[in-house]
Amino acid sequence: MSAGAAVAAPPDAESCSQVPVLRERGQREVFCGLTSIVWLHRKIQDAFFLVVGSRTCAHLLQSAAGVMIFAEPRFATAIIDERDLAGLADANAELDRVVGRLLARRPEIKLLFLVGSCPSEVIKLDLKRAATRLSQSFGPNVRVLNYSGSGIETTFTQGEDACLASLVPSLPPEPADAGRSLLVVGALAEIVEDQLGRLLGQLGIGPVRFLPPRSAASLPQAGPRTSYLLAQPFLGDTARALDERGAQRLDAPFPLGVEGTTRWLQAAATAWGISTARFDAVTAPAAERAQRAMARYRALLAGKRIFFFPDSQLEIPLARFLAREIGLVPVEVGTPYLHRQHLAAELAMLPAGTTISEGQHVERQLDRCRAARPDIVVCGLGLANPLEAEGITTKWSIELLFTPIQGYEQAADLAELFARPLDRRMRLVA
């Protein structure tokens, strides 16, 4: 914490980008990986997420999700209490009892994730063993997997990475006679999935499968004939697990904005040997429509200065999109963690001179933000209203995870998310 800021050259020799990075250590004002349960449980509709943690973990989930969900959710917390802390044998028996009660109540559940938290990790509760044991008792009806969403190991969207990585070993192998296939990796809104699937289909690329799937029964296959495209920038562990299955990553920027979407599709088209003519014929109309839709926001936003607090790891692709297609000027782009390899193409496209910061010392970052007086700040829910009260316009970053933003048809919607707070500020006269 006292180490302070250091500007370090990238340690990664194979990185194609030499952007200097401000490394920060101090208070991190970010969610832990448990938070990604809020969208993951909507995505895999027959999965249940059981956090093994404390009242804090339950309260975090409810605070991040509670206002949005009325029905009985497909997530819960097994709250560890004093008696569990007294002896580990008890904790395992207790966990079995809780899972039994849960599955009796929710017979439609086919996939159960035991999600580790800081307390379960500090007391070394072995959820991997628990998952194996429970899979034996409740299989084959229910598959039980485990991953960590703890705040000492994961930041916000890394929870999705850990979840998907835990699924990869369960993906069925390719049949012996399988042709090549494309796997799109990262949770996307259904509408985005369908749009991207249609475009890939029109290009003649396929079969296309998605991870995570919409149900536990439709797990996509994985193997050496599988190429995969990351749809999200925070999936380092999942990519590694897929590599271990022999799948190949297609390097591309992320499908945000017209340029990002085109280059993302291009990576697949190149791998599939699709002709330029066909690629243009399929993508040009959608790209042109998106350009038209974005024009109005470009007029409003061009030249405005934007500052990103670290949150979802989407910050760098977002800054790239906003700078190159909307004309915003990124002042500082904070990211909780910088995966240089997966973000190489993105970093190369950022305007020269953009400050990138990794990690966080929230007080010092607030000082920099106040000094820079940006026109708009992207930050988490804890910082938004205090900054607004200081007269700084903000955009809550969590909305970027809950709103469909990828692909051509969403490019203008994405720009609109940043235009709305400024528009609002201009409307309010009192």
Partner 1 sequence: MQLTLWTYEGPPHVGAMRVAAAMQGIHYVLHAPQGDTYADLLFTMIERRDRRPPVTYTTFQARDLGGDTAELFKTAAREAYERFRPQAMLVGASCTAELIQDDPGGLARALQLPIPVVPLELPAYQRKENWGASETFYQLVRALAGPAVPPSGTQRPARAAGVRPRCNILGPTALGFRHRDDLAEIAALLGRLGIDVNVVAPMGAAPADIARLGEADFNVVLYPEVASAAAQWLHRSFGQPATRIVPIGVGATRRFVQEVAALAQVDPAPALDDPGSRATWYARSVDSTYLTGKRVFVFGDATHAVAAARVAKDELGFTVVGLGTYSRELARDVRAAAQAIGVEPLITDDYLEVEAAVAALQPDLVLGTQMERHIAKRLGIPCAVISAPVHVQDFPARYSPQMGFEGANVLFDTWVHPLMMGLEEHLIGMFREDFEFREDAAPSHLGSHAAPTAAPSPAPAPPAAAESGGPIVAAWEAAAEKELGKIPFFVRGKARRNTERFAAERGVPLITVETLYDAKAHFGR
Q: Which single residue brings its beta carbon nearest to ligand SF4?
A: 151
Taking CB under 6 A as the rule, does residue 54 contact ligand SF4?
yes
Residue (of 24, 6, 9) closest to 309 by Cα position: 24
Question: CA 35 → CA 156, 159, 383, distances in Å?
Answer: 6, 7, 17
Taking CB under 6 A as the rule, does residue 166 contact ligand SF4?
no
Taking CB under 8 A as the rule, does residue 382 contact partner 1?
yes
Cβ nearer to ligand SF4, comparing 149 with 374:
149
Taking CB under 6 A as the rule, does residue 52 contact ligand SF4?
no
Please identify which residue in 84, 237, 346, 416 interacts with partner 1, judged by CB under 8 A: 84
Please identify which residue in 19, 34, 165, 247 interacts with ligand SF4, judged by CB under 6 A: 34
Taking CB under 6 A as the rule, does residue 151 contact ligand SF4?
yes
Min separation Cβ 369 and ligand SF4, Å: 24
Taking CB under 6 A as the rule, does residue 118 contact ligand SF4?
yes
Cβ nearer to ligand SF4, comparing 36 with 150:
150
Instruction: Collect all residues with Cβ–Cβ distance below 8 Å to 228 and sequence separation of at least 6.
Output: 182, 183, 184, 185, 211, 239, 242, 247, 248, 249, 250
DSSP 112-146: EEEEE-HHHHHTT--HHHHHHHHHHHHTTTSEEEE
388 burial type by CB count under 10 A (0-12 exposed, 13-18 middle, 19+ buried): middle
Backbone angles phi, psi at 178, to 5 degrees: -65, 140
Phi-psi region of 385 (alpha: psi -120 to 50; beta: other; left: phi over 0): alpha
Do residues 264 and 242 lie in contact, with contact meaning Cβ atoms separated by under 8 Å? no
Question: CA 169 → CA 47, 112, 128, 246, distances in Å?
Answer: 17, 15, 13, 12
Alpha-carbon span 61 to 69, nearest angstrom = 11
Please identify which residue in 85, 191, 281, 284 interacts with partner 1, judged by CB under 8 A: 85
DSSP 406: B
Angle between helix 362-372 and helix 381-389 axes, rounded to 10 deg: 40
- Residues between 155 and 174 with contacts to partner 1, criterion CB under 8 A: 155
Please identify which residue in 7, 9, 12, 27 interacts with partner 1, judged by CB under 8 A: 27
C-alpha dihedral sign at 271, 277, 280, 285: negative
- Residues between 178 and 207 with contacts to partner 1, criterion CB under 8 A: none
Taking CB under 8 A as the rule, does residue 129 contact partner 1?
no
Please identify which residue in 47, 111, 127, 150 interacts with ligand SF4, judged by CB under 6 A: 150
Cβ nearer to partner 1, comparing 227 with 393:
393
Min separation Cβ 380 and partner 1, Å: 7
Taking CB under 8 A as the rule, does residue 23 contact partner 1?
no
Backbone angles phi, psi at 21, to 5 degrees: -125, 135
- Residues between 258 and 287 with contacts to partner 1, criterion CB under 8 A: none
Taking CB under 6 A as the rule, does residue 62 contact ligand SF4?
no
Residue 38 amino acid letter: V
Stretch that binds ligand SF4, among 111-119, 125-133, 176-184, 322-330 (CB under 6 A): 111-119
Q: Which stretches of the chain bind partner 1, using CB under 8 A?
A: 1-2, 26-35, 52, 54-60, 62-64, 66-67, 70-73, 76-82, 84-85, 91, 94-95, 97-98, 101-102, 104-105, 118-119, 121-123, 150-153, 155, 363, 380-386, 388-389
- Positions touching ligand SF4 (CB under 6 A) are 32, 34, 53-54, 56-57, 60, 117-119, 150-151
